[in-house]
Each structure stands twice: as structure tokens, then as C-alpha cells.
Amino acid sequence: MIPEKRLPVTFHSATLLLAIDLIGTFVFAVEGSMAAVQSNLDILGLMVLAFATALGGGIIRDVLIGAIPPNSICNWRYPAAAFAGGAIVFFQSSFVNKVPESLITTLDAAGLALFAAAGAAKALDFNIHPFLATLMGGITGVGGGTIRDVLLARIPSVLRADVYAAAALAGAAAMILALRLRARPAVATTIGIAVCFTLRMAAVHRHWNLPKVAGH
């Protein structure tokens, strides 16, 4: 449908993309719901945060690249995965509270990596320039968490955090580079996910931070 004149880099693996997206959606929904519990919200506020955290990044990406209506609105599997994540936190909160911090950090890094790779892949499929497809991967990864923080009236952690959005951008860039070097979609995706996940986990464990302007 879309003329592919400009770009040699494409993705084209709808099933892989869907599977990655749904797993990432579930993981992020669990995280968003836990932020809701900490902020003392009721079940509907919890579901709203689950939905926004899990699907907000993808919706922003889809609107920006012209994939309208967004997947999350066309395909009931997305909100179903998000609400399932919310329901588990709500009904099994005593269990969720026992989950160790390190497991949550690891799941979050996994969700970030999945979304960054899926976001960049989808942007390529919509004929977006690789430079901007990398940005779209970053937005897909951090957009939902940003909306969550805005709704909770706090400065988005992505603006302050140690290497987080940077890991998403690096993963998206690695995947696009691999595709350009003619790797198959599954291989390129694995590379992108691995780069983002490794960077994020290393940053957490070694307390990496990005530089700031001195004197502030």
C-alpha cells in the first residue's frame, strides 16, 4: 500500500511484532498498576494507569507515524493484555508485594527492550526514515511511563533517570543497523532487544548516569 521508495531498511514480520508487543504490554501494565497501588488509587484508577502505561507509548508512536486507528484501538488483544496485568496486581496484591525489587527492575528492562525494538520495527514498516524510526523506538519504550508520571503529577522519571531512554534508543538503533546489514527480522530484533536490555541492566547495577551541565 505504502510506496517503499526511500528506504532499504524494512521489517515485515507481523506475528513476531504482535507477540513482542503483547508481552511488553502485560509487563508494563503490571508496573503501571503497582504505581497506582502506591498512590492509593481505586480499581478504576489502577486500570487507567495500567492502560496508559502499557499502551500510551505505542499509541503516541502509531498516531505519529500515521498508523491510525492505533493497534491498541483496533485490536482487542492489546487492552485485554493491559487489563489482565492490572487485574493481577489488584487481585493478587499480597503476592505482587512479595516480588523482589530486582525482578521488577529486570521485567521493566525487558519491557523497555521489547517496546523499543517493536516501535522501531513498526516505524520502518510505515516508511519512516531510520533516524526517526530510532526515535519512535525510544518513544514507544518510554512514552507510557511518561504519561503515567504526568497523570500522577510528578516529573517523568525518564527525564531524570539513569540510562533508561538512552538504552531504548541504543536498542532501536542496533536493530535498525542490523537490518541495514541485511540481518533477518528475527535476528535484528534479538540484537536490538539484547542491546537495550543489557545496557539498562548494566546501568542499574553499576549506577551509570548520563552527564549533566556542570554547576547545576
Residues near a copy of itself (CB under 8 A) are 36-46, 48-49, 59, 63-66, 68-70, 73-74, 76, 79, 89-90, 93, 126, 128-129, 131-132, 135-136, 146, 150-156, 158-160, 165-166, 209-216
Supply 45's cell numbers.
Answer: 484508577
Nearer to a copy of itself, 44 or 99 (CB): 44
Write down the least CB distance from residue 199 to a copy of itself, Å. Answer: 13
Q: How far is the CB of 21 from a copy of itself (least distance, A)?
A: 16
Pick between residue 100 and residue 211 the one whose CB is nearest to a copy of itself. Answer: 211
| Cβ-based neighbour number of residue 8 at 10 Å | 9
Q: Given the C-alpha cell 486507528, which residue does it identify?
A: 69
Distance CA(199)–CA(205), nearest Å, equals: 10
CB of 216 to a copy of itself, least distance (A): 5
Cβ atoms of 60 and 67 closer than 8 Å: no
In the complex, minimum distance from the CB of residue 22 to a copy of itself, in angstroms, rounded to a whole number: 16
- Closer to a copy of itself by Cβ: residue 126 or 190: 126
Distances (CA, A) of 172 to 40, 122, 134, 136: 35, 11, 5, 9
Q: Which amino acid is at 44?
A: L
Q: Rounded to an integer, what distance in angstroms lies between the CA atom of residue 94 and that of residue 113?
A: 28
Closer Cβ to a copy of itself, 1 or 214, answer by number? 214
